[in-house]
């Protein structure tokens, strides 16, 4: 009989493979589930894993041990986060297509691909892993359910490797749009290349972790032959590299905050937006903790509950974070006061609206405002005798489609020169007529 390491190694309580005193058996039944137990098939070559599972189930049933289940909680987590991330993406794409009227960028396509690759995971979880035992003890499942659970979990593992790669791509493409520095762009392109290779490698490893592939979900019973890579090693390596990459991707935007020409309140807001992404890193670390005994668990359908749900939270919260810039633009558009702040320069003070300081839309301009001469400069000129001043005020045209308005705020030049925001103009000129 094959007793090597595998996805499903079943350890359970067997006080005797033969019949015994039921009351005494129940009295000695450990409360810790699988603690302090022995493997029946180690006691006798005639006791297989399937027989051991059957014996464990009968023992628990006869002794009226409580039946543990967390399947409903897993279903709620999966559906709730899936719906929230889906609505967030719908708002993001709808705003760009219907309000800002601009085309989708690489970051938009990446996050859309992440979401659509996540839909199968949601379906597999709600129709596959959960109905087939996720969050339940393995000995309460039928043999067919155990096999199907392993098969569906294998699919979710491969999809997770793909999703986490695409999610990082979406953030990296977004950074490319908002940070103009040449060195930063080179670092970002290098990170994109590394992430692509890293993701492709683990997707391939996830698919071909066992030979034959079907051995992934059939080896639990010890009746099939095959060989596998170290599943624990693959899972740990992926999680560790992903966390390091998360910290690197967080450091890049935060390092650029000091270079942004905006009010400190806006800097704090932008920094907070980026730091929300740190929550995804925290979730990744918690997920890593749940991988301690990933491949060597004695009760996979129960023990995989944590890693499954942390994976769901990680991907969906990541999608929500990538949509935060678009959500901010919508909030500022609906509540303009939330996007306003006063900017203080060395020479003069002026008011700058957060929703109006960005580049002009590729489509049409959404609104305008008037640029006027600072009051202290105007009073100074009026004090000079013999001169008539004529002040001309032009309209600032602005758009709210580009994420650069979140980060790249240009200094308004109030000294009689024209400032160009890629099509938007603020011009103020003052002429003097001597008499």
Look at residue 72 in the predicted model and tell me its pLDDT: 92
- What is d(CA 388, CA 286) in angstroms, rounded to the nearest whole number? 70
- What is d(CA 270, CA 341) in angstroms, rounded to the nearest whole number? 13
89's CB contacts (< 8 A; 6+ apart) are: 111, 112, 115, 319, 323
Domain ranges for the chain, please list them.
1-66, 71-332, 341-434
- What is d(CA 78, CA 76) in angstroms, rounded to the nearest whole number? 6
Contact 14, 38 (CB under 8 A): yes
Contact 421, 359 (CB under 8 A): yes
Taking CA atoms, 167 is separated from 50, 133, 331, in Å, by 41, 29, 24
The CATH T-level fold of domain 71-332 is Rhopdopsin 7-helix transmembrane proteins (1.20.1070)
Using left for φ > 0, alpha for ψ between -120 and 50, and beta otherwise, residue 346 falls in: alpha
198-207 burial, b at 16+ Cβ within 10 Å, e below that, comes to bbeebbebbe
Q: Which residue has the tokens 């806006």?
A: 266
Q: Within 10 A of 348 (CB to CB), how many other CB atoms are there?
A: 14
Cα dihedral 352, 357, 363, 366, rounded to 10, equals -20
Of 287, 294, 281, nearest in space to 233 by CA: 294
Look at residue 187 in the predicted model and tell me its pLDDT: 92
What pLDDT tens digit does each residue of the chain (435 aa) get? 344 333 343 343 444 444 445 555 565 555 444 443 334 544 445 678 888 888 888 888 888 888 899 999 999 999 999 999 889 888 888 888 777 777 788 888 888 888 888 889 999 999 999 999 999 999 999 999 999 999 999 999 999 999 999 989 988 888 888 787 888 899 999 999 999 999 999 999 999 999 999 999 998 888 889 999 888 888 888 888 988 998 898 888 778 777 766 667 666 666 666 666 677 777 878 777 777 666 677 788 998 898 899 889 888 888 888 887 777 777 777 666 555 443 433 433 333 333 333 344 444 444 444 444 455 555 555 555 555 655 555 444 444 444 444 443 333 333 334 344 344 444 444 444 433
Whether the full predicted model's pTM is greater than 0.75, yes or no, is: no
For residue 335, give both structure tokens.
């509540």
Cα dihedral 90, 96, 100, 105, rounded to 10, equals 170
For residue 240, give both structure tokens.
């560790």
């Amino acid at each position: 009989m094959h007793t090597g390491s595998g996805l499903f190694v079943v350890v359970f309580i067997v006080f005797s493979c033969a019949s015994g005193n039921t009351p005494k058996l129940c009295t000695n039944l450990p409360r810790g589930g699988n603690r302090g137990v022995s493997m029946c098939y180690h006691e006798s070559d005639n006791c297989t894993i399937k027989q051991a599972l059957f014996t464990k189930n009968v023992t628990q049933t006869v002794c009226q041990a409580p039946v543990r289940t967390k399947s409903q909680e897993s279903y709620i987590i999966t559906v709730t986060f899936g719906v929230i991330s889906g609505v967030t993406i719908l708002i993001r794409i709808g705003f760009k297509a219907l309000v800002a009227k601009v085309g989708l960028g690489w970051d938009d396509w990446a996050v859309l691909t992440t979401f659509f690759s996540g839909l199968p995971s949601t379906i597999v979880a709600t129709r596959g892993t959960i109905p087939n035992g996720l969050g339940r003890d393995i000995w309460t499942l039928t043999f067919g359910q155990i096999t199907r659970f392993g098969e569906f979990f294998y699919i979710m593992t491969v999809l997770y490797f793909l999703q986490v790669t695409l999610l990082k791509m979406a953030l990296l493409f977004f950074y490319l749009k908002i940070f103009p520095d040449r060195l930063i762009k080179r670092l970002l392109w290098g990170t994109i290349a590394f992430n692509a290779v890293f993701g492709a490698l683990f997707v391939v490893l996830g698919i071909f972790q066992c030979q034959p592939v079907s051995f992934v979900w059939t080896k639990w019973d010890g009746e099939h032959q095959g060989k596998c890579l170290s599943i624990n090693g693959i899972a740990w390596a992926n999680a560790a590299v992903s966390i390091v990459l998360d910290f690197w991707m967080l450091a890049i935007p935060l390092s650029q905050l000091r270079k942004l020409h905006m009010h400190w309140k806006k800097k704090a807001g932008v920094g907070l937006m980026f730091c929300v992404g740190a929550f995804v890193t925290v979730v990744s670390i918690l997920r890593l903790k749940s991988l301690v005994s990933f491949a060597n668990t004695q009760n996979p359908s129960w023990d995989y509950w944590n890693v499954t749900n942390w994976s769901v939270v990680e991907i969906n919260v990541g999608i929500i974070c990538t949509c935060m810039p678009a959500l901010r633009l919508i909030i500022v558009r609906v509540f303009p006061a939330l996007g306003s702040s006063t900017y203080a320069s060395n020479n003069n003070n002026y008011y700058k609206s957060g929703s109006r300081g960005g580049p002009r839309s590729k489509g049409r301009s959404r609104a305008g405002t008037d640029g006027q001469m600072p009051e202290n400069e105007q009073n100074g000129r009026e004090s000079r005798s013999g001169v008539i001043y004529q002040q001309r005020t032009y309209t600032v045209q602005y758009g709210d489609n580009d994420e650069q308005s979140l980060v790249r705020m240009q200094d308004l030049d109030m000294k009689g020169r024209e400032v160009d925001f890629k099509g938007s103009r603020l011009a103020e000129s003052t002429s003097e007529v001597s008499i």
